[in-house]
Chains A and B, each alone.
Chain A
Amino acid sequence: GAGVSQSPRYKVAKRGQDVALRCDPISGHVSLFWYQQALGQGPEFLTYFQNEAQLDKSGLPSDRFFAERPEGSVSTLKIQRTQQEDSAVYLCASSDGRQPQHFGDGTRLSIL
């Protein structure tokens, strides 16, 4: 079956632009997570959804970061007024409510 799908795979934006990153979780998975992975580091938690409810957004680094999952399936992570320090790989993972999580290939974001 299809795994977690993320798009785009690569995104280059100028500083100050807004970006939107998409995650299609595995069908039927109620839990969806967003992570930020800097080069040479482990994934760091950003936010978590159970169905359409955003249960934890404590990892979002600033109010420029916003995530939504309006129908409980596809999720979008939006970053407004991007900064160079936002450059990273953004990983999405989903699960059926129990472990383990299944990861997507990520979106590599580069801010110039």
Chain B
Amino acid sequence: GENVEQHPSTLSVQEGDSAVIKCTYSDSASNYFPWYKQELGKRPQLIIDIRSNVGEKKDQRIAVTLNKTAKHFSLHITETQPEDSAVYFCAAVPEGQFYFGTGTSLTVIP
């Protein structure tokens, strides 16, 4: 089955700086890569996603890049704000089945 690895497990940045979270996957059949933000005690919320026919996607301060050859994808958050503090999960999806990374706890220091 698919194996998703996510790094780093924790990340602290100063407010206004950028944050980058990286994931690798193993199954070349994976064709959909969502990112979820989960605040403490709350549900995972989809923040951005990318499909395998696209290399990069942006939505305001958030962007995701995908390198299919190397089987890795990354989340980029620019101009970080304290409200960006949360746990972020990547996922790789082959044939409709979601495989999640272990999460990155992001802390934005005011």
**B42 near A105 (CB under 8 angstroms)?**
yes
**A43 near B97 (CB under 8 angstroms)?**
no
Q: Is B44 interfacial (CB 8 A cutoff)?
A: yes
Q: Decide yes or no: A45 and B102 within 8 Å by CB, A103-B43, A104-B43 being known contacts.
A: no
**B100 near A44 (CB under 8 angstroms)?**
yes
Interface SS, B side: strand
A33–B96 CA distance with the chains assembled, in angstroms = 11
Task: Indicate which residue in B36, B46, B99, B101 contacts A45 across the interface (CB closer than 8 Å).
Answer: B99
Chain A interface residue count: which class? 20 to 34
Q: Is A1 interfacial (CB 8 A cutoff)?
A: no
Task: Indicate which residue in A33, A45, A100, A106 contacts B34 across the interface (CB closer than 8 Å).
Answer: A100
**A42 near B103 (CB under 8 angstroms)?**
yes
Name the interface residues of A1-53: CB closer than 8 Å to any CB of B. Answer: 4, 31, 33, 40-45, 48
Q: Which residues of A contact B34 (CB under 8 A)?
A: 99-101
Q: Which residues of A contact B49 (CB under 8 A)?
A: 99-100
Q: Is B13 interfacial (CB 8 A cutoff)?
A: no
Name the interface residues of B64-110: CB closer than 8 Å to any CB of A. Answer: 89, 91, 93, 96-103
**B100 near A42 (CB under 8 angstroms)?**
yes
A7–B27 CA distance with the chains assembled, in angstroms = 34
Q: Which residues of B contact A40 (CB under 8 A)?
A: 102-103
Chain B 48-67 near chain A by CB (<8 Å), digits 1 or 0 = 01000000000000000000
Q: Please give the residue numbers on chain B whose beta carbons come within 8 Å of chain A beta carbons, in ascending order.
A: 4, 6, 32, 34, 36, 42-46, 49, 89, 91, 93, 96-103
A-B contact pairs, 11 of them (CB 8 A): A42-B101, A42-B102, A43-B98, A48-B96, A56-B97, A99-B32, A99-B93, A102-B46, A103-B36, A104-B43, A105-B43
